[in-house]
Amino acid sequence: MPMGPNRLKYLEMLQGVITRMAGNEFSLRTWSVTLGTAVIGYAASKDGNTKAAFIAILPALVFWLLDAYFLSLERKFRALFNTAAAVQDDTPNFSFDNGWTAKDWLPAAFRPAVWLVHAPVIVVALLVGFQVFQR
């Protein structure tokens, strides 16, 4: 059965949300690395205070949490998209209820695409803050 205009529009709307979630994740990762690197770089500089590196931990944690939130939402919307694409009739309900719950956040937080971005910022901030690297 060919896809009707209503179902096609619904799928386009869902794809727009998925794209926006992916864009949010990319922005968060960029900000996390940029801000963390700047703070750590200042702390590790000759005139900087190495304890200032600890300041980079809080934003990195917040960005990590937000990144995991958006990834978990994106995954739920992808599942909703796949379900809507498999339906054979052209009377979509245009629902955006994807069934997201807070327990969906934790698995997303420990996906390699998330923790491999934010955890190194935290680890380096700790190493610099505790003066593991001597000047």
Q: What is the pTM of this model?
A: 0.91
Q: What are the residue boundaries of the structural domains of the chain, listed by start?
A: 5-89+97-129
CA 63 to chain CA centroid, nearest Å? 7
pLDDT confidence of residue 63: 98
Q: Considering only 15-19, 41-45, 111-115, 123-127, which range has the smallest mean pLDDT?
A: 41-45
